[in-house]
Amino acid sequence: MPYRAAVTDYLFMIDTLLDADALRQTTRFEEATADVTAAILEEAGKLCDEVLAPLQRNGDLHPARLENGVVRTSPGFADGFKAIAEGGWIGMGADPEYGGMGLPMILTSAVNEMMSGACISLQLAPLMSQGQIEALEHHGSDAIKELYLPKLISGEWTGTMNLTEPQAGSDVGALKSKAVDNGDGTYAISGQKIYISWGDHDVAENICHLVLARLPGAPEGTKGISLFLVPKFIPNADGTVGARNGVSTVSLEHKLGLHGSPTAVMQYDNATGWLVGPEQGGMAAMFTMMNNARLGVGGQGVGVAEAAYQHALSYALDRKQGRAGADGTGSIADHADVRRMLVEMKADVFAARAIGLSCAYALDMANATGDASWRARAALLTPIAKAFGTDTGCSVAHTGVQVHGGMGVIEETAAAQFGRDVRVTTIYEGTNGIQAMDLVARKMMDGGEAAGLLLDEMEEDIERARPDFPNMADACWQACESMREATEWLVAQDDMNNRFAGAVPFLRAFARVLGAQLHLKAAMADKGGPREKLARFYILRMLPEHAGLLTHAQAGEADLFAVTTDALAS
């Protein structure tokens, strides 16, 4: 069964789980009607199914390579990127003043997720550009916007972000790259950056790097960092590419997966750059791009999970073994444990997708209304969407190999590629542990107010379902109350290690409970149908996991650190 973008699922979620009418009633998004939404998603689905999905194996079998200083991408990738660019998909959410469509993030997120399922290695290129576009829209000077945004939006140029250095990974403040004022409005940037996705390639005529560096005399740590735009080729005044800048590709990383995505070690030798935002305001500007990317990476996890599920389902339906089962097919899909795996995969994909779209919706409502409560909702959901989306990608890909049995570890089936490709998503744009720590620390600085308001709304929805589905509603309501109690315990902890020790299980529990409420809402819209049956499975079999997770989340740090490093090494 070839990959098929889950267009029906996106339309159902946007029209049923989210209040799309409220979004369409805002001035900003009034043109994103139901008809427009359907047309966009259906057209994107065709692109993914017919153009991008056939490139998936090419990227794995014929990786990007560096030859004599030139990066050559996988066969077909240049044409695939051209199709994405010419379709206008890069600038879906960008400002129409510079050539964008100005569409809501829910549509951008849905299309990005489809593309990730079709070919995640290629989808990384437009995703990086989208993040840079948003950063420049918020923090770039008028001159930078006028020159760079039309090129990035059209796909003539692509964007990257350069944070990590050999000695500075998650601790970005330890970076050593430096910037010197040239006195003419430009800066000389020097240093080395690693793990730069699509840092060099042959699919577009210019590559624009957002680079974090430190000016002379700036304080140590993150407060002293500035952000610079450093193009591979210095643009001429008319927007054409000019002289080669002092930017070079040292090497491409040999990776576990994502072989079609060139991950570069970049060297800057007095490269010409332009300041983005104020001096020493680099982290604030870069976080605009990173938060965009975190939601996008969560969608990458869900997209790969969808593809891995479809791949496993196709194999399970075709593989005949044993007697005819409940459905009389004789396929391994009739075996109880294989059926369990397939249903768990499908149920988790639905939950993770719905959480990601809920986060995108909150961003849209915040941008359309300026309401601070919507911005707080989006901030709360971002680490959950990123971590749970990518964890789901890894777990579903892992289960997909199991469904294949011995054939799962044979490369010809391509089942293992999903797991190799998606594995890094739990690491880049902030590891999932960092996402969890962000959730229990920064996102709880309001004393848990945003979390409490979300739980209130969830319980209101659950109560509406109680007359039709009393058992499922009761399970969801009790889980919300347990989540509320755990949140109250969390915000009462002054010792941050008590929070951090259980941060990951706390985030996963929150995702489990959110997923259950969203499944229940889907059941209400599909009484007696397949969505109700899927919701029942998730709520009665998978939701109970939250109880053990919350016990872990509230255990504190004492017994964790009682196991000393000496004990670990003994």
- d(CA 511, CA 546) in angstroms, rounded, equals 9
Query: What sign for the dihedral angle of Cα 443, 449, 454, 459?
Result: positive
Which of the residues in the chain have pLDDT under 50?
A: none
* C-alpha distances in Å from residue 258, one per residue of 58, 59, 346, 417: 11, 7, 23, 9
Query: What sign for the dihedral angle of Cα 296, 209, 288, 226?
Result: positive
334 Cβ neighbours under 8 A, 6+ residues apart: 322, 324, 325, 326, 327, 328
Please tell me the predicted confidence (pLDDT) of residue 321. 84
Report the Cα 256 to chain-centroid distance in Å. Answer: 19
Please tell me the predicted confidence (pLDDT) of residue 284. 83
Q: Which of 203, 179, 204, 200 is nearest to 189 (CA)?
A: 179
Please classify residue 28 by burial: count the beta carbons closer than 10 Å to its beta carbon, then call 0-12 exposed, 13-18 middle and 19+ buried: middle
CB 62 within 8 A of CB 76: no
Residue with tokens 């510079």: 98
Residue 561 in tokens: 């650190």
Please tell me the predicted confidence (pLDDT) of residue 323. 67
By three-state DSSP, how is residue 405 classified? Answer: helix
Which position among 67, 429, 485, 532 bears the catalytic label? 429
- Cβ burial 384-394 (10 Å sphere, 16+ → b, else e): bbbbbbbbbbb
96 DSSP assignment:
G
Please tell me the predicted confidence (pLDDT) of residue 553. 98
CB 433 within 8 A of CB 383: no
Instruction: Read off φ and ψ for residue 167, nearest 5 degrees.
Output: -100, 0
Which amino acid does the sequence have at 505? P
Catalytic: 429? yes
By three-state DSSP, how is residue 418 classified? Answer: helix
Please tell me the predicted confidence (pLDDT) of residue 504. 98
* C-alpha distances in Å from residue 215, one per residue of 79, 100, 232, 286, 425: 40, 33, 21, 16, 31
Torsion of CA 24, 26, 27, 29, to 10 degrees: -40
Please tell me the predicted confidence (pLDDT) of residue 26. 97
493 DSSP assignment:
-
